[in-house]
Amino acid sequence: AKGTYSGYETDLARVPVEVYVKAPAQRTMIVHALFGDSVRVFDGRSGWVASADKPMPLMPLTGGNLEGAKLEAMVFFPAQLKQAFSQWRGTSTTIDDREVQVLQGTNPRQPPVNLYFDQSGLLVRLVRFVDTAVGRVPTQIDYSDYRDVRGIKLPFKWTATWTDGQSTADLNEIQINVSIDGAKFARPAPAPPPKGN
């Protein structure tokens, strides 16, 4: 998939983004920021961020951040989500005056995950939590602008909001059932120093 991305690391400027996903739970997102590429990879078991704006040029994802990367990859393959949690419970609420169904998935010794579905069954929000030294911290991802791609409804926009920031991916092209080089999901090389240094 291709489109634009804006967030704290781009000073809210819209920059090109590429997203690659492969079943059951692999995902790579490459943000072509002004300082250089920011690469976030989840290979199905491990995850990394390679970006010049981070404290280290290659950071492994651990704990709740690793679980979050797994969930963000699985969202594109909903059948996988059902097996991701040992227990489910449901309720309903409203988002922007629209009734939605909420499914909360739980696993032993992990924070819950809340999935919000509209009346047509489309995922409109995911809220995941990370346990930290200061308590449980949420990340909310809102999915919108669903379009039909070869008979499948896919979100062309998602907005992630966390304690101190927000980012938005606006896609203009999604291709499905295409061959993706396995190297796209491999541990990325450490990010070079920022451009201009």
Helices (H), 75-185: 78-84
**The tokens of 183 are what?**
């190297």
Q: What is the mean pLDDT of residues 2-13?
A: 94
CA 1 to chain centroid: 13
Cα–Cα–Cα angle for 137, 139, 144, rounded to 5 degrees: 160
- Tell me the pLDDT tens digit for each residue of 33-61: 999 999 999 999 999 999 998 889 999 99
Enumerate domains of the chain plus CATH numbers: 2-185 (2.50.20)
- Tell me the pLDDT tens digit for each residue of 105-140: 999 999 999 999 999 999 999 999 998 889 999 999
Cβ–Cβ < 8 Å for 92, 115? no
